[in-house]
């Protein structure tokens, strides 16, 4: 029955599917409360599961949150009827519609939708941590994980406790110094940040974070397009304010036979990228217009690449001026999240919610099939005063012509 309903929803939506919010708790995090979830619902899953401080977008990736994690945590659902009583996992919708939804090239290469994005909304900084390269991730049944950051002003009414991010290590750092920090993990503050470099975060800019790069994300609410994996390891033991990190998170995605092997943890690190003296130049991303700005503004919109230094996942920001209608074409399927305003997208009404109860549906998140994207999506801003702003997340996008430096 769900397959028939999916076909009906796909046809009625003209190739655009409505998605339900996917909320994700993290036991080691404290919520920044900027992702529009009702204040009473941040601990709705129980304090033992942790606070909800992430919302995942266009996700067919399971959130790895330990043995108590539900089988569908982190997974997006397609809403099949107006009431929201009928739904199907986006993962299953992709398996059913295949290339009709995500494009034949992506389907033939991955047999899945190979990326997702999220809002990460933590009150304080995260530990200096790493996402594994493919060779190490494969050993625990995962994929290597490149990710990118963008800090939208619309979800950053406050900067949290520490809006600064550490990346990599100081040039000239020796591997023995890092290994010593890892060996001291259980003895208190292992001082790994003393070997790193800190950058002040700026709204409406971003960073590229390839797998194998250590990073201690700051406390801005962050939009994060990334490859379809939830693999990580925490390399810092004590955070700002004395918050401690469990040693289990140091070894969380380590094969059983390698637990206790600090040389294995060192091997996950892409050393050259971490000590790159030109890290800022090579990894920082300011928005780049997709074409001539004056031409776009005359047509009533502005579209910019905001995450563009990785071929495996990328993102654009689209701003439609008040009262304007535009038709935007892309050569790849994408998900989008509406940040500001209200209007219409194809046959759909779209609106930015002010407050969302856990389990409630919204009209701010959708998935656009490759066919619909290529034909062009017509978007109308129904406000006479406020811009309509959305973020669009892609997997491999042939329109990405900006030179990338790492996959």
- Say if 232 falls within a structural domain: yes
Burial of 201 (0-12, 13-18, 19+ CB in 10 A): buried
116 and 181 assigned to the same domain? yes
Of 285, 312, 330, the last residue of a domain is: 285
pLDDT digits (tens, 9 = 90+) for 40-98: 999 999 999 999 999 999 999 999 887 889 999 999 999 999 888 999 999 999 999 99
Number of domains in the chain: 2
Q: Which residues pair with 315 in a beta bridge?
A: 307, 393
Here the tokens at position 396 are 């491999």
What pLDDT is stored for residue 243 in this prediction? Answer: 85
**What's 37's DSSP letter?**
B
- Say if 340 falls within a structural domain: yes
250 and 382 assigned to the same domain? no
Here the tokens at position 337 are 């999240």
45 and 147 assigned to the same domain? yes
- Say if 238 falls within a structural domain: yes
Domain at 329, CATH number: 2.60.120.10
- Say if 399 falls within a structural domain: no
256 and 363 assigned to the same domain? no
pLDDT digits (tens, 9 = 90+) for 276-298: 999 999 999 999 999 999 999 99
Based on C-alpha coordinates, what's the Rg of the chain?
21
187 and 314 assigned to the same domain? no
- CA dist 54 and 35 (Å) reads 8
385: how many CB neighbours lie within 10 A of its CB?
A: 8
281 and 330 assigned to the same domain? no
58 and 125 assigned to the same domain? yes
What pLDDT is stored for residue 82 in this prediction? Answer: 86
- What is the dihedral angle through the alpha carbons of 258, 144, 197, 286, rounded to the nearest 10 degrees? -170
Q: Are strands 334-340 and 388-394 parallel, antiparallel or unpaired?
A: antiparallel
- Say if 239 falls within a structural domain: yes
What pLDDT is stored for residue 407 in this prediction? Answer: 40
189 and 332 assigned to the same domain? no
- pLDDT at position 405 over 60: no
What pLDDT is stored for residue 403 in this prediction? Answer: 63
**Scanning the structure block, which residue is given the tokens 């490759």?**
370
270 and 350 assigned to the same domain? no
Those residues whose C-beta lies under 8 Å from the C-beta of residue 241, and which sit 6 or more positions away, are: 124, 161
Give the domain range for residue 183: 26-78+110-285
148: how many CB neighbours lie within 10 A of its CB?
A: 27
389 neighbors 338 (Cβ within 8 angstroms): yes
- Say if 199 falls within a structural domain: yes
**Mean pLDDT confidence for 19-32:** 92
177 and 224 assigned to the same domain? yes
236 and 188 assigned to the same domain? yes
What pLDDT is stored for residue 406 in this prediction? Answer: 45
pLDDT digits (tens, 9 = 90+) for 96-142: 999 999 999 999 999 999 999 999 999 999 999 999 999 999 999 99
275 and 317 assigned to the same domain? no
């Amino acid at each position: 029955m769900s397959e028939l309903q999916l076909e009906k929803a796909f046809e009625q939506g003209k190739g655009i599917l409505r998605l339900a919010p996917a909320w994700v708790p993290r036991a080691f995090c404290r919520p920044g409360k900027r992702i529009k979830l009702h204040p009473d619902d941040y601990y709705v899953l129980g304090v033992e599961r942790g606070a909800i401080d992430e919302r995942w977008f266009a996700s067919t990736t399971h959130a790895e949150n330990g043995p108590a994690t539900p089988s569908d945590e982190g997974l997006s659902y397609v809403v099949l009827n107006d009431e929201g009583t009928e739904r199907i996992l986006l993962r299953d919708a992709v398996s059913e519609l295949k290339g009709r939804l995500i494009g034949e090239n992506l389907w033939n290469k991955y047999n899945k939708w190979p990326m997702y994005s999220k809002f990460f909304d933590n009150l304080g900084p995260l530990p200096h941590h790493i996402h594994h390269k493919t060779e190490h991730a494969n050993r625990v049944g995962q994929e290597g994980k490149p990710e990118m950051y963008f800090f939208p002003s619309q979800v950053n009414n406050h900067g949290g406790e520490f809006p600064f991010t550490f990346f990599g290590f100081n040039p000239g750092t020796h591997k023995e110094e890092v290994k010593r920090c890892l060996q001291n993990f259980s003895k208190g503050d292992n001082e790994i940040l003393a070997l790193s470099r800190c950058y002040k975060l700026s709204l409406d800019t971003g960073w590229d974070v390839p797998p194998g790069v250590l990073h201690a994300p700051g406390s801005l609410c962050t939009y994060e397009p990334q490859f379809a994996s939830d693999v990580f390891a925490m390399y810092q033991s004590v955070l700002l304010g004395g918050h401690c990190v469990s040693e289990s998170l140091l070894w969380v995605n380590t094969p059983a036979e390698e637990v206790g092997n600090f040389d294995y943890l060192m091997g996950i690190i892409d050393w050259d990228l971490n000590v790159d003296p030109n890290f800022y130049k090579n990894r920082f991303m300011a928005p780049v217009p997709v074409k001539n700005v004056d031409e776009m503004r005359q047509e009533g919109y502005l579209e910019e690449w905001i995450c563009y230094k990785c071929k495996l996942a990328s993102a654009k920001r689209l701003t439609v001026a008040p009262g304007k209608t535009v038709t935007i074409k892309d050569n790849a399927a994408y998900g989008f999240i509406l940040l500001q305003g209200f209007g219409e997208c194809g046959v759909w009404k779209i609106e930015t919610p002010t407050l969302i109860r856990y389990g409630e549906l919204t009209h701010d998140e959708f998935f656009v099939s490759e066919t619909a994207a290529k034909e062009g999506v017509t978007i109308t801003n129904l406000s006479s005063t406020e811009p309509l702003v959305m973020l669009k997340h892609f997997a491999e996008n042939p329109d990405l012509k900006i030179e990338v430096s790492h996959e």
